[in-house]
Every structure is written in structure tokens, then in C-alpha cells.
Amino acid sequence: MERLSILYASALFDLALQKNAVDEFLGQALLLRDALKDQECKRLLEHPQISAAEKRDFFNKSFEGQINEDMLGFLYLAVDKNRIKYLFPALDMLISNIERRNRIVTAKVYSAAPFDETQAKALSKMLSDKLDKQCELDLKIDSTVIGGPYIYVDGYYIDWTVKKRLNDLTLSLKERRDQ
């Protein structure tokens, strides 16, 4: 399954580069990925008794004027070849390829309380400056966090939680005591 998803994503990425429409493809891939996450949409596309023609018609009606012919052709190919299960992974890979090309990373930020807009902008700017990449935030609430966030971004783990600080303080005190 992974091999076909990679091939589809690579073909779409190459096409986006050839047509000098990388940002357009990114926007459309994000739109499609988010739409395909919907449970009703998944059920419709995966239902064995709904014909390929009906699924194509669904795509036409749902995304008319929102996606280009190349992306629509990709959807048709997946339906016609009964490869619906490859759509989501291929779109994820395409998005990842384009974001990597455009030097965009997404930071997963977990905190006990939601960030306000000012805090989110400041964190995004600080991470962007440190990583020398555009940093978007995926903010999540984690009720187990006690004060401060922890962040996963571009292979890094940053822990600014009170729990981490208390653990560090405890270790420091133990080290001093043992000396």
C-alpha cells in the first residue's frame, strides 16, 4: 500500500513542479485531505455497492471549482482502479513533500490550557526563528500537563512543563546531596 501512495504523491509533486503550481497543489491537497477525513465521506467512498460513476459524480459536485483537473484526475484514478485507500496517505505525502520544499514545519504543541492568538503567534515566530523555517502550530489540549507546553517539531522535543522543571530540580538536588 505504501508503495502506491508514494508513487501517487511523487507524481502529483512532479506535476506541481512542472506546472509551477506548488502552492495551488498544496491548498487543494489540504482541502481534499480534510474533506476525506469526514466519516460520511469515507463511508461513501469505501462502500462497495456505490458505483465508480457515483463516486466520480460525488467528487465533481463536492469539489467543483475548488480543485484543478490534475487533482480531479487523481481522484478519478483512485476510484476507477478501486484504490480509495491510497488517497489519504498519498495526499499526506504530497503535503509533506511540498511543505518540506517550502521549508514549512508543523509543531505539535500540547498544553493544559489553550493558547490565545498572541501567545500562538509569539511561539510560532520564536520556533520559526530558531529552526529557520516557517513554523505552523498544531495546538492540542492535554489535561495531564501541569503548566507550560511540550512541543514536537522537526525531530525535536521541547519540554517546558512544570513537571519537567520539578524533575530537573529534583535531579539537581540529588546530585548535590550525593557530592
pLDDT above 80 for 179: no
Q: What CATH number is attached to the domain comprising 6?
A: 1.10.520.20
Of the residues 56, 83, 100, the one at which a domain ends: 100
pLDDT at 1: 55
Q: What CATH number is attached to the domain comprising 115?
A: 3.40.30
Asked if residue 94 and residue 10 are part of one domain, the reply reads: yes
Count of domains in the chain?
2
Is-contact 44 55, C-beta < 8 A? yes
Of the residues 100, 127, 153, the one at which a domain ends: 100
Asked if residue 72 and residue 115 are part of one domain, the reply reads: no
- Residue 110: which domain range? 103-178
Of the residues 79, 100, 121, the one at which a domain ends: 100
CA dist., res. 20 & res. 14, Å (int): 10
pLDDT digits (tens, 9 = 90+) for 140-159: 999 888 888 999 998 899 99
In 112-126, which positions are buried (b, 16+ CB within 10 angstroms) versus exposed (e)?
A: eeebeeeeeeebbee
Asked if residue 120 and residue 169 are part of one domain, the reply reads: yes
pLDDT digits (tens, 9 = 90+) for 75-118: 999 999 989 889 999 999 999 999 999 999 999 999 988 999 99
pLDDT digits (tens, 9 = 90+) for 7-63: 999 999 999 999 999 999 999 999 999 998 888 888 888 888 999 999 999 999 989
